[in-house]
Amino acid sequence: MGVLPVFQDAGPDDVPQVVALVERAYRGQASRAGWTTEADLLDGQRTDEREIRELVMAEDSRIRMAFLDGVLVACVRIDRGSGHGYIGMVSVEPSRQRGGLGRQLLAEAERVILEDLGLDRARMTVIGQRAELIAWYGRRGYQPTGAREPFPYGEPRNGLPRRSDLYFEVLEKPLR
């Protein structure tokens, strides 16, 4: 990708467009335009305005947005964890996937964790059944820790599972 995105933290006014981007990137027919989607595993929503507003306003979290020519094309959630930075909700406009934007977004999240938060490890959780996505993160240095977290069944705010065996694989990467 020749053009570098402009990064900035989301504020309260950005909440609606962040929600719309995350929904397009993760769920429904729009997400199928990209190389990876949760649409075969989950129906319903991925997030909502309440969750994004809470993340934007919280002291230990942020949503980092990426713009190309003034258009929001990607975003990522970054939280301060206990001894690590947490990366989540990695979202790239489906029609812009496969162009290097995801790598740039991930590198920016790692930079924020290392430089702004002063932490030297990044952690994330990925639905264990998303082997292609786990492999993509693996090529970027993220390795399974051996830990798993349960999927929040019964919480429609997190989506409507299409199968009963979902779980989160915990991945981690040293940043130094």
51 within 8 A of 158, measured Cβ to Cβ: no
Banded pLDDT at 28 (limits 50, 70, 90): confident
Separation of first and last alpha carbons in the chain: 25
Using DSSP bridges, classify how beta strands 85-92 and 121-127 pair: parallel, antiparallel or unpaired: parallel
Q: How many domains does the chain have?
A: 1
Q: Is residue 30 part of a domain?
A: yes
Q: Is residue 25 part of a domain?
A: yes
CATH code, domain with 94: 3.40.630.30
**pTM, whole model, 2 decimals?**
0.95
Task: Give tens-digit pLDDT for 37-88.
Answer: 999 999 999 999 999 999 999 999 999 999 999 999 999 999 999 999 999 9
Banded pLDDT at 3 (limits 50, 70, 90): confident
170 within 8 A of 147, measured Cβ to Cβ: yes
**Residues of the domain holding 16:** 6-124
Q: Is residue 73 part of a domain?
A: yes
CB atoms within 10 A of CB 141: 14
Q: Which CA distances in Å does 96 have to 39, 71, 173?
A: 18, 12, 25
**Can you read off the two tokens belonging to residue 129?**
């059944």
Provide the percentage of residues in the chain whose pLDDT is more than 70.
99
